[in-house]
Each structure stands twice: as C-alpha cells, then as structure tokens.
Structure 1
C-alpha cells in the first residue's frame, strides 16, 4: 500500500536534520526500485539520467510531459520519498515553472532541485516564490533544494566563492528554499563555512575529492547526492557488453555478472 504523500513530505524534511542523507540518484522506475531495495531512505532522480533514458541531452531539453510520466512511474514503484531534479524548471517564466512543479507534485513528488545555472539569482528567487505558493495550495510541504552553480560553473573567482554562495543562499532562503545544493564544492574549510552560515541544510555532489559520509557529517553537510555518476557507469557497462557481443557474438560475458532474472522480476511484484 502506498503511503500518504503528506507523510512522505514530512519524512523527507526530517531526513535533512538527522545525520547525512545519502541519495543514489535513479533515472527510471526500475533503477529507483532497485536502489530502494538496497535500503535507501529516500529517492532522487538525476536529470541527466532521465533525459538520456528518453534519448534527449541533459540541460532543460526533456519535454515536461516525459518528466512527469517518469516521475509517476517511479512513485508507483517505490514507497519512500521522491525528490526530482527539475533542472532550471524548463522555462524562464516563474509561473510556468510553478505549473510544471505542480504537475510533479500531482503525481507524487515531495521534493525538487531547482538550479540557478548561469542566470541572475533574481530569476531563481521568483521561481522559488511561485513554486512555494503553488505547493501550499496543493497542501504539500514541498522540499525545495536550491542549487547554485557558483562552484560548478566558476561564477565567481576562487577567493570570492564562499561569499558569493552565501549571498545567494540568503536570497534563496528568503524566497522560501528549504535546502542549498552546491555542486563542485569539495574544500573542507569552505564547506564548513557555508554549512554553518547558509542557514539551510547543505547538499553536496559526490566527487572523488570528498571524504567519507561520516567525515562530511562533521563538516556540517546534511545531504550527499550521487548525481549522474551511477547512470554514467551503467552506460559504460552496457557499452562494453554490447560492443563485445556485436564484435564476436560471444554470449558468455552477457550473463557473467547478471542479476538472476527471478530476483529482478520479484522486485516488481505487487507494484
């Protein structure tokens, strides 16, 4: 039996204030159900993985109807909170973005990521305000994770990035954001400064330079996302298997590391 959406939303908020939330991002219902079965406390999508699975490049180019349909499929397959990578909202019109997010809420999402990219912070603030009003009308306490690309895109000189990030965080918090996502941030001192001064739970993107989850928690980090890395690794493995088979038709590598059919099929029974 599916759990009430309001209950899932409350749980998702709470997960950002109790230790470090680890999110292994999924791209479809099957990957989400597999990750849930491994003990995930919540689910997140990767915009890149979702776009690629439909044959589109990442970057606000996926048709919204396909995103909503994917989210509906994932919600049907899992029983834990789901947050959706909504990129920049697929529009520069805050009202249109709020309409898109309302559609995601309608099919069961309880959180979103929304990014500023290279655009003026004023635009993201307006989007956040419209979305929060829309979610309130729908009766869902949507967790809005505001992503700033100060580090990822180098929007400020290295010595000014903490200050620039905190300035944006203050504006996004005032607009109604519930969390702050800073992909590309890996330095300990800078992470500690942002975590302590942003006034929002800090989300980082997995990077080889980052330490373990246990250490990140001591830095003040409250959420760590795998991003598109799992999807990318899956495509690498698929490419290796398919290219080998197409080259020589050898069947043996195809099933060497395969999860048994019966085990995979059982994941979806009753869903």
Structure 2
C-alpha cells in the first residue's frame, strides 16, 4: 500500500489515528521510529524555527523545505499549511500539488486568519475545492477555527458542512474539548473528525468512544521539547543531575538518512 492510500485508510479504522506533530526531520524521525504510523507537522514549530509568528502566512518556503525532507520517511506525512499561504485558490492548489509530487499524503488548511478572524466560509470552500481538483489524492483536513479563536462557535457545523461539500476528506475542530459538543460534531459531519489533544481534556480512549477518528498533538510536543531543553540546561548550570532517558548521539544518528 502506498503512503497516500495508507494515510487515508488510517482515518477509517476502529482505533483513532494518534498523530504526533513534528517540527524538523529529527523530531519526525524519532517519532516514526517509535512506531507512530503517520507524522504531521506543527506550523508553530516551523514558524518559531524561522523566527516569525505562526499563522501569518509567511512560512511557505520553510514549510515546503521541511516537507521535502520529511518525504524521505517511510511513513505518511501530512503538512500544516496554515491558511494556504495565499488567498488565491490557484496558488494554494499549486502549493499543495508541489507537496503531492514529493509524496506528501495530506495537508491541514485552517480558516482562521492571523489568530484574529475567520475566513469567509464560501471562499475557504473554494480553496478546498481548488486543492482537490488539482491534487485529488491528497487528504485535505479542513480546520474550523471557531472554537480555537473563540469566534462565532455557532457556525462550526455550518462551516464544517460547507468544507465537506467542497471535497474535504476530514474536519478538524481544535479547541473543542467538551464531550457533548465533540459528539455533536462527529454525528453531524459525514467525514472523519480530528480533535486536538488537550491536557486535562478527554483521553484518547474517551475521544475514541465519542467517535473521533484522528487526534493531533499540535504544538504540544514542540513546546514540551523547549521546556525539556531549558530544564536540562538549567540542571547542567546548577550542577543538578540530568534527567534519564535522553537519546544518545548514536540514537539520533541512527534515525538520520543519508
């Protein structure tokens, strides 16, 4: 089974796909080696590595470069393209087509804009339709940012429905943590539903019971890695023991490809 087909299939199994989000080749490689069947990217990690804010549509080149490296992994990869890095449907579709040529299995496209507003749902549906026309094999995960931004949550189902009609393969509603609300989305949307894992929110088992088919870690792993780096550096400076379990130099080398 090719990686694109395998990625689609992972959304239609009894057990939800737990999707870890990487920010560079090293983080993706160790996650794949740990047995995760697919890897996503985190736009926050990509933007922070470039020294720019997330969600502002300026990391297209960095995202494409990372996708090129991650395409060498043995597992399927899905790429977060923020809002598509353009408002022009043709340009967004062409960007995704470039990813498809690399063998990227999916994209995540959001309807939030710069963490301050929501895109017009009709225009967002046009972007999704253009992607599916240009690169029909790519799994398009349509992100609805109503709960993430706290803007017009009443429009969540209407937006999800429009994106489904435009050809999306899945719907992602980050910021949604209340079980009853999650169940309503699952029951109302005729596509696999993706939920962002939230510390203190429903567990993976509970999300599975609610019918969720994909659970993303988002920027959690990147933020945890930064916290761990600061903890270790502080321990070295203070003369405290360093936490056990850190991969060795050889471990990381073993996961690197020529």
Same fold at TM > 0.5 = yes
- Report how far residue 253 of structure 1 moved: 4.9
Q: Are 1:71 and 2:54 an aligned pair?
A: no
Distance 1:170 1:37 in 2: 36
Summarize deviations over 1:161-197 as a string: whole Å, max 9, x none.
Answer: 3x52111111101111010000011111111111011
Cα gap change, 1:255 to 1:222, in 2 (>3 Å): closer
Match of 1:230 among 221, 225, 230: 221
* Corresponding residue number in structure 2 for 1:259: 247
Distance 1:256 1:217 in 2: 32
Which of the pair is proportionally richer in helix? 1
Match of 1:26 among 19, 22, 27: 22
Aligned-residue Cα RMSD (Å) equals: 1.9
Larger deviation, residues 49-58 vs 10-19: 49-58
* Corresponding residue number in structure 1 for 2:96: 101
Match of 1:214 among 193, 205, 229: 205
* Corresponding residue number in structure 2 for 1:173: 164
Distance 1:56 1:99 in 2: 24
Provide the secondary structure at the position in 2 that maps to 1:112: strand
Q: Are 1:121 and 2:121 an aligned pair?
A: yes
* Corresponding residue number in structure 2 for 1:41: 37
Distance 1:255 1:261 in 2: 16
Whether the aligned pair in 2 keeps the contact of 1:23 and 1:223 (CA below 8 Å) is yes
Whether the aligned pair in 1 keeps the contact of 2:179 and 2:202 (CA below 8 Å) is no
Whether the aligned pair in 1 keeps the contact of 2:235 and 2:242 (CA below 8 Å) is no
Larger radius of gyration: 1
Gaps of 5+ in 2: 113-117
Cα gap change, 1:175 to 1:259, in 2 (>3 Å): same
- Report how far residue 97 of structure 1 moved: 1.1
- Report how far residue 200 of structure 1 moved: 1.1
- Matched residue count: 252
TM-score in terms of structure 1 length? 0.87
Cα gap change, 1:98 to 1:238, in 2 (>3 Å): same
Q: Are 1:55 and 2:51 an aligned pair?
A: yes
Alignment of 1:140-159 (within 5 A): 141-156=137-152
Match of 1:80 among 69, 75, 79: 75
Cα gap change, 1:254 to 1:57, in 2 (>3 Å): farther
Provide the secondary structure at the position in 2 that maps to 1:151: helix
Cα gap change, 1:8 to 1:256, in 2 (>3 Å): closer
